[in-house]
Amino acid sequence: MKNYAILLLLFILCFTACEDVVDLELEEGSVELVVDAWINTDTVPQVIKLRRTAPYFSNAFAPVVNGATVSITDNDGRVFEFSESNDSGNYIWTPAPGERFGEIGNNYALEISLEGKTYSASSQLNPTVPVDSITYEFEEESLTGPEGYYAQFFGRDQIGLGDTYWIKTYKNGVYLNKPQEINIAYDAGPAAGSEVDGLIFITPIREAINPITDDDDLPPYALGDSIRVEIHSLTPEAFNYLERTFFQLTLGDAALFAEPPANVPTNIASSDDTENPQGFFVVSEVSSLEEVVE
């Protein structure tokens, strides 16, 4: 029995000691241009960000792209020139006082010239709907969350199938940008085929303006907090882009039939057929409303 115990101990030590550190050498792949061009009709400077893709395991910020020529032209022939700000890779068009970008129904063509290559994309400017109201209510602590103020907004989808929206929320001026906080709507529901055309946005979309916190004891809102809700119109292609992005960032390997991570399809085209630029271009009308929890 004693010999058996010694052999068992040696066997365990043998397998627990055989641990080698393996460094995986992954191919970095080609470096591509990434275009962040989400333009809207708000009366503030409009920004197009140009970056380069970075290795998968890199912890550094994506490299900025300098020296590009960036413009947007509408179907009336008006040209909006975007100028780079302080070698930041951010290209800005600043409206005159009281001016805003774009006209509802117009088509817009993005063109980027960089290192002898041309990148292009197009978007129609679709109408949005107003934010009718923002309400909030104090709720006691429950299984679903701590006590505090919980908010929702109200708005009604316009008549006609296929309208798409991106609802953005700001808490005390800070944009809620976690992957789980991507809040999009197809007509008044979450996706095509919901048959909720022309109705008030459904409850899950209205209540998705409550921030998601990592602290289970922290309520969504407290007295004195400001809540700003914006409704941005989208093209169907932009809706699909955000929908795919949401699923990849939030589900990942957790989904039963999850797909391996991959680049989300883009509407950015390159004059070089060997390149695969990333990102998206869309022009949106935006409506907004802000309330303070009192």
Confirm if 276 and 34 have CB atoms less than 8 A apart. no
Helix (H) or strand (E) holding 17: helix 2-17
Q: What is the pLDDT of residues 5-20, one digit of tens each?
A: 554 455 555 555 555 6
Can you tell me the distance from the alpha carbon of 67 to that of 117, in angstroms, rounded to the nearest whole number?
Answer: 12
| Whether residue 67 has pLDDT greater than 70 | yes
Confidence of residue 59 (pLDDT cuts 50, 70, 90): confident
Distance from the first to the final alpha carbon of the chain:
76
- Burial (CB count within 10 angstroms: exposed 0-12, middle 13-18, buried 19+), residue 12: exposed
Q: Which two tokens stand for residue 138?
A: 């104090």
User: What separation in angstroms does the CA of 12 have from each of 7, 16, 18?
Assistant: 9, 6, 10
Q: pTM here?
A: 0.87
Could you identify the residue written with the tokens 């990434």? 34
| Whether residue 248 has pLDDT greater than 70 | yes
Q: What is the pLDDT of residues 155-211, one digit of tens each?
A: 999 999 999 999 999 999 999 999 999 999 999 999 998 889 999 999 999 999 999
Beta bridge partners of residue 55, listed in sequence order = none
Q: What is the pLDDT of residues 117-138, one digit of tens each?
A: 999 999 999 999 999 999 999 9
Confirm if 108 and 125 have CB atoms less than 8 A apart. yes
In order of their start, the domains of the chain are 33-124 (2.60.40), 133-264+286-292 (no CATH)
